[in-house]
Amino acid sequence: MRVKRESPARRAPRSMLDGAAASCFNAPPVLATTAEIDEIEKDRGAREVRLYLEVERGEWLLPRAVWLLQEKLNAYASFILDGKMRELYPFVAPGDVRIVVRSRGQPPQDALTLVGLVREALAKDGPQLDFEQST
């Protein structure tokens, strides 16, 4: 099972002129869209479900990038722990979920610190948290 929302960044190149990673079509940054899950993936036969949180190239340049990451992680945790995910996917328990922050580009140190703190906080409730960086 693979559910994926098409990211605005995949439709149009982002402009780096203003340092805010706004696309040339005024699409909101992926990091700033906290009302939706970027991607849900489950391999056939596997128990684990992965929720991907995408951070596109240049989004770390947003003035409140770390705060936006915190808000999006909060939304993902709420989706898992408050029962909404269980309503949509009754076979998935919080312990079967892995949140993966997928970053294209170098994140600030504060973002990595935040990921570590959230990983520790979520560990007792079940969901796991990973960080992947690609160039």
- Which pLDDT does position 100 carry in this prediction? 96
- Which pLDDT does position 28 carry in this prediction? 59
- Which pLDDT does position 58 carry in this prediction? 87
- Reported as type and span, the H/E element at residue 81 is helix 65-81
Mean pLDDT for each 10-residue chunk of the chain (135 residues)? Answer: 43 34 49 79 92 91 91 93 90 94 92 95 91 88
Return the residue matching tokens 């340092």. 19
- Which pLDDT does position 6 carry in this prediction? 39
Domain that holds residue 120: 2-134
CATH number at residue 93: 3.40.1350
Number of CB atoms found within 10 A of residue 70's CB: 18
Strands (E), the chain: 2-4, 39-42, 49-55, 97-104, 128-134
- Which pLDDT does position 83 carry in this prediction? 87
Strand order in the sheet with 128-134: 2-4, 39-42, 49-55, 97-104, 128-134
Residue 69 contacts residue 55 (beta carbons within 8 Å): yes
Number of domains in the chain: 1
The reported pTM is 0.75
